[in-house]
Amino acid sequence: MQIDPKSLPWQDAYKYLNGAILPRPIAFVSSVDEAGILNLAPFSFFTAVAANPLTICFSVMRRGTDGAKKDTLRNIEATREFVVNIVSEAIGEQMNITATEFPAEISEFDASGLTPIPSTVVRAPRVAESLVNFECKLHQIVEVGGEERGASSLVIGEVVQIHVDDSIHENGKINTRALNPIGRLAGHDYVRVTDTFEMMRK
């Protein structure tokens, strides 16, 4: 089967991305608006960009209902900083609550019961229950698709501070099994990192 994505409604083409690019790590992004209201939201179009300077990125899609910008993007545009918190299985249910489109004046920290704690460098808070937090300063926002529903803004941030819980830190590395991260699949499905195998490079 061959598919021209432009021949499909964007919602249908989107399903091929979600169904094939698997598993996807989750950027659990905390931000704050200029009035001090805290925001917390998950994004599964997320990856590393560079090691020097340490840089990560995630993509914020326009709302499918009306094409409006999401609160996370508006906050980052205004403050030019954010925190990416890593999602372990222990906070998966609370992360899922924050995926709801709450009004801008409602903090997802309050709705989910997760705990905001101060960051070291940026104004946006960290999630206390997350075992790894990356404080970021905005490097660049790349707009893809304009203002249409389903269009995205690629948010690229330089990591200016890393927080790793002592329970998962071993010899300058992160113990993946102790971190117990979850990843995003298609639909309502997620994946655990419990079945791994090794392939040595020759």
Query: Is the confidence at residue 190, as pLDDT, over 80?
Result: yes
* pLDDT more than 70, % of the chain: 100
Nearest to 18 by CA among 37, 44, 51, 41: 44
Cα distances (Å, whole numbers) of residue 100 to 8, 40, 48, 94, 165: 26, 10, 26, 11, 28
Residue 117 has pLDDT above 90, yes or no: yes
Mean pLDDT of 127-134: 98
CB atoms near residue 187 (< 10 Å)? 9
**What is the overall mean pLDDT for the chain?**
95
Q: Given this model, what pLDDT does residue 65 score? A: 76
Nearest C-alpha neighbor of 89 from the set 186, 162, 192: 192
Do residues 193 and 176 make contact, with C-beta atoms less than 8 angstroms apart? Answer: yes
- The CATH superfamily holding the domain 20-192 is Electron Transport, Fmn-binding Protein; Chain A (2.30.110.10)
Q: Domain ranges in the chain?
A: 20-192
Please state the pTM of the whole predicted model: 0.95
